Amino acid sequence: MNRVTKEKESTEKKPVKKGWVSRTLNALLNGEFLTKDGVIKHLPFILFLSGLFVVYISLGYSFEQTEREKVRVKRSLEDAMTEYKSLKSQLESKKQQSSVLDQIDELDLTEPKTPPEFIEVSQGYFEESN
């Protein structure tokens, strides 16, 4: 009988000792760690850290939005500079004397050959007399 009881004991499962990893994982999965006094005691600090995480995430989104806005403004500035340079070159070509002469000919005007003359008038000439 002694042999039989030994065989029964050997066939029965022995309780397996759990390591700290399996105990921690088990406590996390079943929520047991939330009911302990240490968590309740440190709840304000945990909430503070959670708030910091939320602020950190929002700052990250804000930074990304600012960078997108900077890129958009930079593209807009480059477009404006390109348009400015284009218009400036068109104006420079229209200011050339040959271009001005062509436009004068279209209006049936002639280019003056003599320099303008100054007409001197006496002081008070343009004032209205009552």
What is the tens place of the pLDDT at every residue in 33-66? 777 777 778 888 889 999 999 999 999 999 999 9
What is the tens place of the pLDDT at every residue in 98-115? 888 888 888 888 877 899
Total count of domains within the chain = 1
Q: Is 31 left (phi over 0), alpha (psi -120 to 50) or beta?
A: left
pTM > 0.75: no
Angle at alpha carbon of residue 88, lines to 83 and 91, rounded to 5°: 130
Distance CA 121, CA 118 (A): 10
User: In terms of residue numbers, what domain contains 79?
Assistant: 27-106
Structural domain includes residue 125: no
Structural domain includes residue 64: yes
**Residue 34 φ then ψ, to 5°:** -75, -20
Distance CA 87, CA 81 (A): 10
